[in-house]
Amino acid sequence: MLWTSELAEYLEDAPWPANKAELIDYCERIGAPPAVIRNLEEIEDEDEQFESIGEVWPDYSPEDDEFYYDDELNEY
């Protein structure tokens, strides 16, 4: 699986908790890029319930968190 933050954003509003089939169905309905669906198809456990994108892609962090300290650095 090769995730990028741009691809992972398609799962932010997914109907959590969800399993692999539900996530693929959701992504097909919202018109997510084929790369998102391919990544989901690579999940091995068909029945595992995921509570959030963090469980599908553990390295994911929303953009807001990524720049949390930038404002503090610019103050000095």
Range of the domain at 22: 5-74
Q: How many domains does the chain have?
A: 1
Tens-digit pLDDT profile for residues 20-75? 999 999 999 999 999 999 999 999 998 999 999 999 988 887 765 444 444 555 55
Q: What is the secondary structure of 14-67 as a DSSP string?
A: S-SSB-HHHHHHHHHHHT--HHHHHHHHT-S-TTPPBSSHHHHSTT---HHHHT
Q: What is the pTM of this model?
A: 0.77
The Cβ of residue 48 has, within 10 Å, a number of other Cβ atoms equal to: 13
